[in-house]
Structures are given as C-alpha cells and as structure tokens.
Structure 1
Amino acid sequence: MRRDTGFPVADAESDFLRARRRQVMSRLAAWLRREPDDVNIMLPFHEVVGALGMASEKRLGLQSIRLDSIVGSVDRTRDFDRRFRPTSGRVRERWQRLALAARRGESVPPIEVYRVGELHFIIDGHHRVSVAHAMGLEVIDAYVTQVITRINSSGIRYRGDLIVKDYRRLFLDRVPLGGEARAAVVLSDPWHYAQLGEHVEAWGFRLMQDSGQFLDRPEVARRWYADEYTPVVAMLRQADMIGDRTETEAYMWVAAERYRLIRTHRWDADVINAVREESQSHGRGPRV
C-alpha cells in the first residue's frame, strides 16, 4: 500500500525498501511452502519464444496493458522477480528516481514490450513497471510488438512449463497436425511426445509400404489421426478404458500393450478386449 509522509524523497526511499522486503518475504514463503524454484523467477523471453517456435512479429503501437500480464523480460531477469520486485540493491538509485517522479506527478514515458499470446515481456521499462507495481497501479502504457508463435502460450506459468511446450513443438515438427487434431493430441509428460512422434513415423512407414506410395509428413499426420487415432480413442471410450489419463496417453498405453501381447498392428473390438482382460489380470489397467 502506498504511504505518504509529505516528504517525497523519503517516501520514495521507503517505497524501495518496502518492495525489497516483499521480495525477500515472498522468496522465504515459497521456500517454506516447498514451491518450485522458478515460482518467483521472471520468464526469459528468448527461452519462451524458443520453446514455442517463432513465426512472425507485428508492431501494434501504443496500448494500455495490465501490469499482471507482464511476466518476463528480454534481458533483465536477474534484477527483478516475477512481480517485478527488486532482487537486490543494484537498481535502487534509478528505482527511487522514478518513484520520486511518480510521487510528484511527473509524466513517465511508455514502456516497450513483446506480446506472446496474452503474456507480455519487457524490452525497455523494467524500473517503471516495478515502481508501478509498488504504487498499486493496475495498467501501464506500452508500445507493443506482437510475436506470433507456432505453439500457443496457454498453460505457461513458470520456467519449468517451457519444456512441455518445447517437446510438443518438436513433436508437431515431426507430426504436423492441424486444427482439431492439433488440440486433441495432448500428453502430460513432455518426454512422451518423442515416443509418440516415433510411433506415428513408424505407422506412416508401414502405411507407405502397404500402399506403395510416398506420403509427406502432413499427409501421414492427417491419415494417422483420421484412420488410427480417432477410431482407437472411440473404442477406448466405449470400453471405458480412458481412466484419469488423457486420451492420447490412453492411446499410447493400449498401442504398446496390444503389440506386446498380441504382436499385431490391427485394431478391432477383439484386440481391445484382449488387452483389457490381460492388463486387468495383472493390474495394469487404466487409472480410474
């Protein structure tokens, strides 16, 4: 909460000390709650875009953006935490000058940001954002450049979430699904995307051998989703074999069990029943 004593210089100094104290207390609270190490770390822009895959960018001009949508930085991730509280005394002098200007009602130039989905990353203006947070503001003026990525940014909260996006992007390079199929194929464990990519490529190779014709990656992806994935998932739903996993995880499990037990690549109701009976007898059925 902003506090005024009538002495702007002293108030600006107090603002900085209060922001530093909150940063230390937040880090201590995260440690006591055994939260992930990256819970208070600002997201690095280049790592995020690298995981999502850069497509293009477009300047949008001056806009008013919410402060809580600013989650990262291009190059200053060490000086401030996720809530843009100072992490040391290095930024104190400049921070207090801006806080003093804000208390005196002086105009502050807009910041500059990249926009990725609904997230914003600071190019210029870290101290201004930090002071705005300390002043209790909710919005700030910014020159916005929108970055279009190949994978959407939904679900990114912490730095650790980037590995899921990175492996999913690599999977979609190998298996370029689109539209509904792209949204439907989801795995919780990022490592499993590599396994699924190999599975689809092997399926496509067998298809090309059987048909005697070459198929490019988009066509293999389209055929796999339409002719293999969708019918199998429908059979798994009917047999109540999805459990608490995602549909894609259930598909991968039953595909592996099918070949291990029956040594076949075909699908029908008899195959599903055989896999279910065998797995239930050994306690390897779907988690429910």
Structure 2
Amino acid sequence: MVSSSGSPRVDAESDFMRARRHQVLSSLAARLTGGTEDVVQSMSFDEVVDALGRRGEHYVGTKVIPLDAIVGSVDKVRDFDRRFRPTSAVSRQRWERLARASRTGEVIPPIDVYQIGDYYFVRDGHHRVSVARSLRVTLIEARVTAIETFLAPVGIEARAALELKFWRRLMLQRVPFTGEARAAVAVDEPSMYGEIAEAAEAWATRTMHAEGAYMDRDTMAARWYAEEFRPVVDMIEEAGVRGDDERPAEAYVRVACERYRLIREHEWNAEVLEAVKKGKKKRT
C-alpha cells in the first residue's frame, strides 16, 4: 500500500492526481523519445480477437489474477492507458469513491475479464483495476471467461504485430499449413501473406487442371509446400539470390513475383533464376 495521511478522502484525491500525472508523463515520454503510444495505450479486446480469430469461449470461474497481466479493455480503451491510469478527469468522482472504499477496507466485488492466453481484458471493473494499481496492489479477484483463438496469443503487444497476425490468420484459413510448413511460411510484411495465399491457390488450380482431379485445401497446403515452396526455396539458396536478412518465405515471394514479371511463366529452372539475377542487377 502507498502512504496514508490519515484522511481517506484526502488520500483518494492524491491517489487520483498521482495516477493522472504518471499517465500524462508516460504519454509525453513516448512521444518525445520517438516511440509509439503502444507502450502506454490500452489494448483493444476486439482488435486482438479480430487479429487472432475467435474459435470459442468458456467460463473459467472466479480466481485471483495478477494485475500486471491485465493489458486491455473491451469498451474503455480510450479511458485508461496500458497500466490502467485514467486518461482524463471525467470519472474522477467515481474513481476517488472507490479509492476511499479500498483504503477503508470495504469489500470490493470481483471484476469481470476475458482471458486470451496470458493476457486479460476488462469487461467490467475498469475503475477497480485502476484504483488497485494506484494503491500498488499486485493481485485482484476476477470472474474469468477464456477465449480460444485460431492463432496462438503470443507477441501481440503492439498494433503492428496485430496487423501481421491478422493477415497471417487470413492466409492460414485459405491455406491451412500445419507442422513444419506452418512455421516456415512466415514473413514480416503483412501484405506478403496475401501473395502467398494467392500463389498457393493459383498453383493448386493449375495442378488440378493438369491432373484432372480435385484437391481440397488441406491437400493443397501440404502439396504446395512440398512440391513448390520447399524446392524453390532450395533453388533460391543455391543460386544465391536470397537476401542476408530475408526469410525463406519472403525470398520466395520476391523471386516468384520477379520471375513472372520478367518471363511471364510459372516454370522453375536455372534459366529462370539467371534471368531474375540479371533483372536485379539491371535495376541496381
């Protein structure tokens, strides 16, 4: 607990002013250091679920959770920052009333949260979380509903990461890679996931036409990786046209696009890669 003056009312007012001051300073520091407000802005539950894909949910029950794991909100993203400090004085009276109640030992009801992996998002109880953090409490009682997602809920702290997750999810729903392929087909540029999905679907269409047989999406993903992606990546490595910091999937997309731009065909051979090399040299 923080220090006390002996007057719950005065202390609650000081608690609020301190929380507001820290929020303003954190936001200002993020701007002055050239960073983004991702480090201080509360995460949006809807944005995270949209990026990862929602598969289902189940009620976990009431349990004690760490306050540090509460990182976002369902509907009050703009009212509190990432550490649940108030971003304005709009609800100051309510905040201070809860602070007084907490300081005088009144029973505070559990909050309601959604859980996504190791992260929690507040459905109800934003002010209770804010006051508890201001008073340096580390744990809080919560009614928890767990959300199951299509993608693993890891590495989602920044909005740029959410955009990448969103496009990766769309690709995997179109081309359901598994195992080694799922791990290997990864890029850092969101738009490339759309290009990979289109490449796999186009390859499957040509293959089905040539073989006169239907191919479902699971088969398409497995065969495209084994018969197209992996051999081509090996050719790119051998030809020395992969960039130093380029992921295999990024190299595949770049070279495949350049191949078609230069030659207007979908075959892969040494002549194709030689043309890609020459085309690259001409542009540089």
Paired with 2:26 and 2:10, the residues of 1 have a C-alpha distance of: 24
Q: Does 1:90 align with 2:90?
A: yes
Instruction: Give the equivalent residue in structure 2 for 1:33.
Output: 33
Report the Cα offset of residue 264 of structure 1. 4.2
Report the Cα offset of residue 125 of structure 1. 1.2
Report the Cα offset of residue 276 of structure 1. 6.3
Task: State TM-score, norm by structure 2.
Answer: 0.91
SS of alignment partner, residue 202 of structure 1: helix
Q: Does 1:167 align with 2:163?
A: no
**Which amino acid is the alignment partner of residue 123 of structure 1?**
R
Task: State TM-score, norm by structure 1.
Answer: 0.89
Paired with 2:17 and 2:170, the residues of 1 have a C-alpha distance of: 45
- 8 Å CA contact 1:67–1:129 kept in 2: the answer is yes
Instruction: Give the equivalent residue in structure 2 for 1:141.
Output: 141
Instruction: Give the equivalent residue in structure 2 for 1:122.
Output: 122
**Which amino acid is the alignment partner of residue 34 of structure 2?**
R
- Superposed CA offset, 1:200-259 (max 9, x none): 111111111111111122211111112111222233344552520221101111222333
Instruction: Give the equivalent residue in structure 2 for 1:110.
Output: 110
**Which amino acid is the alignment partner of residue 102 of structure 2?**
A
Instruction: Give the equivalent residue in structure 2 for 1:233.
Output: 233
**Which amino acid is the alignment partner of residue 230 of structure 1?**
R
Instruction: Give the equivalent residue in structure 2 for 1:243.
Output: 244
Report the Cα offset of residue 179 of structure 1. 2.8
- 8 Å CA contact 2:258–2:276 kept in 1: the answer is no
- Please list, as runs of the form range in 1=range in 2, the aligned pairs for 1:134-213 lying within 5 A after superposition: 134-213=134-213
Instruction: Give the equivalent residue in structure 2 for 1:57.
Output: 57
Report the Cα offset of residue 260 of structure 1. 3.4
- Structure 1: 5+ residue runs without aligned partners? none
- Please list, as runs of the form range in 1=range in 2, the aligned pairs for 1:269-280 lying within 5 A after superposition: 270-271=270-271, 274-275=274-275, 277-278=277-278
SS of alignment partner, residue 191 of structure 1: helix
Paired with 1:281 and 1:266, the residues of 2 have a C-alpha distance of: 21
- 8 Å CA contact 1:58–1:147 kept in 2: the answer is yes
Instruction: Give the equivalent residue in structure 1 for 2:253.
Output: 252
Deviates more, 1:131-140 or 1:12-21: 131-140
**Closer/same/farther in 2, CA of residues 278 and 217 from structure 1, 3 Å limit:** same
Instruction: Give the equivalent residue in structure 2 for 1:17.
Output: 17
Report the Cα offset of residue 105 of structure 1. 2.7
Report the Cα offset of residue 275 of structure 1. 5.0
SS of alignment partner, residue 282 of structure 1: helix
Paired with 1:197 and 1:266, the residues of 2 have a C-alpha distance of: 18
Instruction: Give the equivalent residue in structure 1 for 2:4.
Output: 4
The alignment yields a C-alpha RMSD, in angstroms, of 2.1
Report the Cα offset of residue 56 of structure 1. 0.6
Paired with 1:177 and 1:5, the residues of 2 have a C-alpha distance of: 61
Aligned residue pairs, count: 283
